[in-house]
């Protein structure tokens, strides 16, 4: 029966099935640890011979409810929740890439991910080559080295809002025999399921639409179970792990190998686990995700069309607009809508942009995207300010760019507020 559930039903029903007399709602297991009566049972848990929770850094029943639900919604085999989106991307890569190895990534990435790849990974001996995602296949393939271990991109680049050419990227990943890791934060599985387009692993900042109400920072890694870790390049999956008495992940766990290894090695040793309370809120957020993503997408499209005609606006960038460079791809990969974030250029540049943001009354100046409340931001002076101007432009940020995360309020109220702020910005 489960197999036939559509995503709206999965969003409500997956992850927690109460037995007689149990709470109807996934409980918040606010407990660091779990009680046992047999020492042998605990030993077996530690040796991964039996499944079960024994310490909340490694796993927790509330986090598990969230993990099972998001894995089902993405169409994957397993997931691991983390304390932030950054932790999810860090672990997703570190799980298969070590010092001396290499990553190829689209240059159009969220600022924090760009910085992780450009600054922090190199300090740990992992080098990253950024490629223009619009470059042709041969050019992108030329960035690969024998030691390259993954290809990384975002479904919708933040904040460039370019749509990834999944066909090209998944073809390259297959040819180069590495997994394609996709940050699917902006579309969420309601609007796009990257595994259906050849991605192998998905990461999310759950902080954005999954939470949806700006309450909690968190992330999650989902594995499709499709990548062949036995291809010869990933001995950490096939050879004995001495930190687990010689356990071989692929042989023992099959399609679950990638997530089990991420959990028992990296979550064990580094420890960015989600708080049970936050996992509860992410699970709750998922319940209404399909409804919210519909409204976010409708409102953003209406706002984009309005801004396109506004005299104070020089350009509008929203993948749902026919004028957008990725419009055909948006129709192909995001047929239900292009999510809630758009960017535009304001006449009068950075100074007018500042005035605009300060004149908004309903739309709030907030360093955030993807929650029910509309918000606005100037990336060049905030999220991307640690990058050089060259790096900013490579990741899709121009100095006059304003990013608007369109919420689920009534569109007429939003347009009214944006219009008065635009008029004020031109004075």
Ligand X SMILES: *Cc1c(COP(=O)(O)O)cnc(C)c1O
Q: Does 113 bind ligand X (CB under 6 A)?
A: yes
Q: Does 183 bind ligand X (CB under 6 A)?
A: yes
* Spatial contact of 384 and 112, defined as CB atoms under 8 Å apart: no
Closest distance of CB 279 from ligand X, Å:
14
Q: Does 107 bind ligand X (CB under 6 A)?
A: no
Tokens matching residue 243: 């930190």
Single residue of 10, 86, 278, 326 touching ligand X by CB under 6 A: 86
Q: Considering beta carbons, is residue 118 or 352 the nearer one to ligand X?
A: 118
Q: Does 207 bind ligand X (CB under 6 A)?
A: yes
Q: Does 133 bind ligand X (CB under 6 A)?
A: no
For residue 375, the cross-strand partners are 364, 405
**Closest residue to ligand X using C-beta atoms:** 85
Single residue of 219, 225, 320, 345 touching ligand X by CB under 6 A: 219
Q: Considering beta carbons, is residue 67 or 236 the nearer one to ligand X?
A: 67
Residues 373-402 that bind ligand X (CB under 6 A): none
Single residue of 69, 193, 208, 233 touching ligand X by CB under 6 A: 208
For residue 316, the cross-strand partners are 344
Strands (E), 234-369: 313-317, 341-346, 364-365
For residue 376, the cross-strand partners are 365, 404
Choose one: 40-48, 105-113, 226-234, 308-316; the region binding ligand X (CB under 6 A).
Answer: 105-113
Q: How far apart are CA 105 and CA 133, in angstroms?
A: 8
Closest distance of CB 110 from ligand X, Å:
4
Q: Please calculate the CA angle 204-206-208 and round it to the nearest 5 degrees.
A: 105
Q: How many CB atoms lie within 10 A of CB 325?
A: 14
Q: How far apart are CA 16 and CA 5, in angstroms?
A: 15
Closest distance of CB 202 from ligand X, Å:
12
Q: How many residues bind ligand X (CB under 6 A)?
A: 16
Q: Considering beta carbons, is residue 248 or 368 the nearer one to ligand X?
A: 368
Q: Considering beta carbons, is residue 197 or 233 the nearer one to ligand X?
A: 197
Q: Does 101 bind ligand X (CB under 6 A)?
A: no
Single residue of 148, 162, 170, 185 touching ligand X by CB under 6 A: 185
Residue in the structure block whose two tokens are 């680049």: 157
Nearest to 339 by CA among 292, 394, 387, 395: 292
Single residue of 15, 85, 198, 337 touching ligand X by CB under 6 A: 85
Q: How far apart are CA 234 and CA 231, in angstroms?
A: 7
Single residue of 56, 62, 84, 107 touching ligand X by CB under 6 A: 84
* Spatial contact of 399 and 349, defined as CB atoms under 8 Å apart: yes
Single residue of 27, 75, 112, 399 touching ligand X by CB under 6 A: 112
Q: Considering beta carbons, is residue 180 or 312 the nearer one to ligand X?
A: 180
Closest distance of CB 159 from ligand X, Å:
9
Single residue of 64, 67, 127, 154 touching ligand X by CB under 6 A: 154
Tokens matching residue 74: 């993405």
Q: x/- contact string, 21-50, with ligand X (CB under 6 A)?
A: ------------------------------
Q: How far is CA 382 from CA 273, 318, 366, in A?
A: 27, 21, 10
Choose one: 47-55, 79-87, 238-246, 322-330; the region binding ligand X (CB under 6 A).
Answer: 79-87
Q: How many CB atoms lie within 10 A of CB 404?
A: 27
Closest distance of CB 181 from ligand X, Å:
12
Between the two ends of the chain, the Cα-to-Cα distance in Å is 61
Q: Does 188 bind ligand X (CB under 6 A)?
A: no
Single residue of 92, 97, 217, 307 touching ligand X by CB under 6 A: 217
Q: Considering beta carbons, is residue 176 or 300 the nearer one to ligand X?
A: 300
Closest distance of CB 188 from ligand X, Å:
11
Q: Does 158 bind ligand X (CB under 6 A)?
A: yes
Q: How far apart are CA 32 and CA 24, in angstroms?
A: 23
Nearest to 418 by CA among 19, 37, 405, 197: 405
Tokens matching residue 201: 């692993």
Residue in the structure block whose two tokens are 């990336």: 379
Q: Considering beta carbons, is residue 61 or 370 the nearer one to ligand X?
A: 370
* Spatial contact of 30 and 63, defined as CB atoms under 8 Å apart: no
To the nearest 10°, the Cα dihedral for 291, 324, 171, 149?
-80
Residue 53, judged by CB atoms within 10 A of its CB (0-12, 13-18, 19+), counts as middle
Footprint on this chain of ligand X (rule: CB under 6 A)? 84-86, 110, 112-113, 154, 158, 183, 185-186, 205, 207-208, 217, 219
């Amino acid at each position: 029966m489960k197999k036939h559930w559509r995503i709206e039903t999965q969003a409500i029903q997956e992850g927690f099935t109460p037995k007689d007399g149990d709470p109807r709602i996934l409980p918040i297991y606010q407990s660091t640890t779990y009680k046992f009566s047999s020492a042998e049972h605990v030993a077996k848990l530690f040796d991964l011979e039996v499944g079960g929770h024994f310490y909340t850094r490694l796993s927790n029943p509330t986090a598990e409810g969230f993990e099972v639900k998001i894995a089902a919604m993405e169409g994957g085999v397993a997931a691991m929740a983390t304390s932030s989106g950054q932790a999810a991307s860090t672990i997703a890569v570190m799980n298969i890439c070590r010092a001396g190895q290499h990553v190829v990534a689209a240059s159009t990435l969220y600022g924090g991910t760009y910085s992780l790849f450009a600054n922090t990974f190199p300090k740990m001996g992992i080098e990253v080559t950024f490629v223009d995602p619009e470059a042709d296949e041969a050019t992108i393939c030329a960035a690969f080295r024998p030691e390259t271990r993954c290809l990384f991109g975002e479904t919708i680049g933040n904040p460039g809002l370019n749509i990834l050419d999944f066909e090209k990227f998944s073809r390259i990943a297959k040819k180069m025999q590495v997994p394609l890791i996709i940050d699917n934060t902006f579309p969420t599985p309601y609007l796009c399921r990257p595994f259906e387009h050849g991605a192998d692993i998905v990461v999310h900042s759950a902080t954005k639409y999954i939470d949806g109400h700006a309450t909690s920072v968190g992330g999650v890694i989902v594995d499709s179970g499709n990548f062949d870790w036995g291809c010869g390049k990933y001995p950490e999956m096939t050879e004995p792990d001495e930190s687990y008495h010689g356990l071989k992940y692929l042989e023992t766990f099959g399609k679950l190998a990638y997530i089990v290894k991420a959990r028992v090695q990296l979550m064990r040793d580094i420890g960015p686990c989600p708080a049970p309370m936050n996992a509860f809120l992410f699970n709750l957020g998922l319940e209404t995700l399909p409804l919210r993503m519909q409204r976010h997408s409708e409102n953003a499209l209406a706002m984009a069309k309005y801004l396109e005609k506004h005299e104070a606006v020089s350009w509008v960038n929203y993948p749902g607009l026919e004028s957008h460079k990725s419009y055909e791809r948006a129709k192909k990969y995001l047929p239900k809508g292009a999510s809630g974030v758009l960017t535009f250029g304001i006449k009068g540049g950075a100074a007018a942009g500042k005035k605009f943001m300060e004149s908004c009354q309903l739309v709030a100046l907030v360093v955030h995207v993807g929650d029910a409340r509309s918000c606005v931001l100037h990336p060049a002076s905030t999220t991307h300010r640690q990058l050089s101007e060259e790096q900013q432009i490579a990741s899709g940020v121009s100095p006059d760019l304003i990013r608007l995360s369109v919420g689920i309020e009534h569109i007429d109220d939003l347009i009214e507020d944006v219009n008065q702020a635009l008029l004020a910005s031109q004075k």
